Structure 1
């Protein structure tokens, strides 16, 4: 019998919660990603519990035990227990009554296998008994995990018709865990690719950024191209987009840069900030994300050091990723080093200083100030004495 081993299984607050829920026997099991990741020796991002108890009973038992709950998704049977060491989602066992590719109507059940059967991939349908930590595997998930195979439960096409987002989830999980691709999964994703058009842009954006944020999404991205996925969700993809992504990933490896999903998205696009803004708007990205994507899609300047360029760019934290993606090879490593921990110094002059040099109030002040600042940047931010000298020269030439 396979058992999971993970530090989180020894949490006192988790044990107290489970004791409150299991007063009358086997009512709860760990499920999904926490079990899968424990088997792989990966720290779990979230802990999910499946239970035979209905949500109202879950809340009642936990509140009797003095534990706070939040009804995060009662219609789908989900309650969140707010524990000292982090929240835990508890979801009643379910079966699908009706699906339309975007939403599911569910009914509660007390059958563990029936609940497992409605999940997407075999490696995500593993249960573990909290008392013994023994794993229950109904659909060959353990073998698939050993083989690094991401495989749909049952018929791949049927699983996709239940929820079209599973197409993107397949490629995300393949990027994270997969070895050889499952032929049935690829065939089903290809057949149903156009169904992604029915999904909200927000759901697509979230799944896409999770996929691109994985350690190495290149192979999955190539499979997506082969299956016609990019033409549906990102028709703006550049002809050399995958090649640019590969170059970016290589640069990340060479410089130790952390993965940034938005930057990798920009690598797939043409170097065109207006087009990038169109993509960001369609994907309903946040204002911050939209500005960053536009910056990343802008060509790198043909002159200036990394610091000189950084002094004129907003948002400032977009410069290093932008350099990583768009700068010439010869500039990348040294440019990134020069930006580590560096902030552009404050420009030492203001409008009053320009007026004191005899420049008449009005548009001329801003013009002269801008010229001085440009020379200050070009000379690598000299001290105040040199700036005043520059200011005097610019003011005199301005008449």
Structure 2
């Protein structure tokens, strides 16, 4: 059946026509996510290109056309063309020579279908001619898109044995696009879940955070635990934590907060800072992610009554997450600007207190009263300072 890609806005990006002229329209196809998302009516961010040309030929043709390229993955046949409308990854057609579940040895190929056969899911193996926009679908990806079904190309177990990360990718794509469950895919993921132990922690963390950043991954995360997959990558998550994840997602939607993967990961962990530290280290999260996860794990019921004080002490994002995780309304923090304490130590010295530890202690006491009173203006702060000075001098 002949199908044609609609005249999507991304196909008119500046530079794509020049790239097509440089490589030759019959030597290239747009591929993957841009085609899939266009058919779903979703926004397209990244544009990828598959080509029969070898990487050196791609770079030379681009050079002659005045297009700068960067060899971003030259060992796997990928170069990136830097265009005004956005970068485009160009990858030479490939076939797998050998795989070990973590990495693949590939050889360059000439057949589009051979390249498609090594991809993970049917919905990602869609190609489009750059001029006619004719779609080439070798494995029923368009039917699967229509059914909202995430299906492996060929034998699901074989696809997973080639790259164990495809288990987590399956669930991420299921959360994003899926409606109809694919029995073969689910059985294969459950059967081979233990193979995830051989992957690098960074790759697992990348997929977990990408999954948790989606609009509503709750049902998928629950399914991962039901199938024994979640226990391999995040054994700390128990059924009550998954229920909490669902409540947090509902609260985000009700209160108008964007999805946040660290907030949601915190929901899947017990509120114990040592556990958060362990998980962050195991997944090799960034310093920023680790700090946030640990801070949120320290939540307690007092957060709900003093969320502005918490935001002042910890940052607004930490306060928002701790309130949401405890079932509170964090709307009052959404546009709240953290105030600056309107008193300096030098002002205390000017009032006759000798510079040193006593000034610091007095500054902290005044600041604490200021926080407890809800951050009143400077006039009140000066009254609080007067009170401290009076107490120091013994004047009642």
Q: Contact 1:368–1:398 (CA<8 Å) still a contact in 2?
A: no
Q: Post-superposition shift, 1:358?
A: 4.8
**Structure 2 unaligned runs (5+)?**
none
2:21 equivalent among 19, 22, 26: 19
Q: Which runs of at least 4 in structure 1 moved beyond 6 Å after TM superposition?
A: none
**TM-score, normalised by the number of residues in structure 1:** 0.93
Asked whether the 8 Å contact 2:51–2:90 carries over to 1, the reply is: yes
Q: Does 1:100 align with 2:88?
A: no
Shift of 1:218: 1.0
- Counterpart CA distance in 2 for 1:358 and 1:276 is 47
Report the Cα offset of residue 257 of structure 1. Answer: 1.1
Residue 379 of structure 1 aligns with which residue? Answer: 373
Among candidates 12, 34, 48, match of residue 10 of structure 1: 12
The 8 Å contact of residues 81 and 89 in structure 1, kept in 2 or not, is answered as: yes
In 2: Cα distance, 1:263 partner to 1:340 partner: 15
Structure 2 match to 1:153: 153
Answer whether contact 1:30 1:48 (CA < 8 A) is retained.
yes
- Separation in 1, partners of 2:378, 2:65: 66
Distance in 2, Cα, partners of 1:65 & 1:367: 68
In structure 2, the partner of 1:394 is 388
In structure 2, distance between residues paired with 1:317 and 1:236: 23
In 1, Cα distance between the equivalents of 2:75 and 2:387?
Answer: 72
Instruction: Tell me whether 1:311 sits opposite 2:305 in the alignment.
Output: no
Q: Which moved more, 1:64-73 or 1:384-393?
A: 384-393
Secondary structure of residue in 1 paired with 2:4: coil
> Is contact 1:300-1:323 (8 Å) kept?
no
Alpha-carbon separation, structure 2, partners of 1:341 and 1:250: 20
Write the deviation string for residues 58-84 of structure 1: whole angstroms up to 9, x where unpaired.
001111111100011111100100001
Q: Structure 1 regions of 5+ residues with no counterpart? A: none
Residues 1-399 of structure 1 aligned to structure 2 (within 5 Å): 1-5=2-6, 6-22=8-24, 26-302=26-302, 304-313=305-314, 315-326=315-326, 328-329=327-328, 332=329, 335-336=330-331, 338-398=332-392
CA distance, structure 1, for counterparts of residue 386 and residue 338 of structure 2 = 23
Does the CA-based 8 Å contact 1:27-1:53 persist in structure 2?
A: yes
User: 1:200: Cα distance to partner?
Assistant: 0.8
* Structure-2 change in CA distance of 1:218 and 1:226 (3 Å): same
Normalising by structure 2, we get a TM-score of: 0.94
Structure-1 separation of matches of 2:339 and 2:26: 63
SS in 1 for 2:262: helix
What secondary structure does 1:341 align onto? coil
SS of alignment partner, residue 311 of structure 1 = helix
Residues 53 and 277 (structure 1), Cα distance of their counterparts in 2 relative to 1, 3 Å cut: same
Q: CA deviation at 1:344?
A: 2.3
Once structures 1 and 2 are overlaid, which stretch shifts more, 29-38 or 235-244? 235-244
| Counterparts of 2:238 and 2:361, CA distance in 1 | 39
Quick one: distance in 2 between partners of 1:398 and 1:183? 75
Q: Does the aligned pair in 1 maintain the 2:14–2:84 contact within 8 Å?
A: no
Structure 1 SS opposite 2:15: helix
Alpha-carbon separation, structure 2, partners of 1:367 and 1:123: 63
Q: For this pair of structures, how many residues does the alignment match?
A: 390
**Cα drift, residue 360 of structure 1:** 4.9
Q: C-alpha distance in 1, partners of 2:226/2:388?
A: 58
Q: Distance in 2 between matches of 1:89 and 1:349?
A: 54
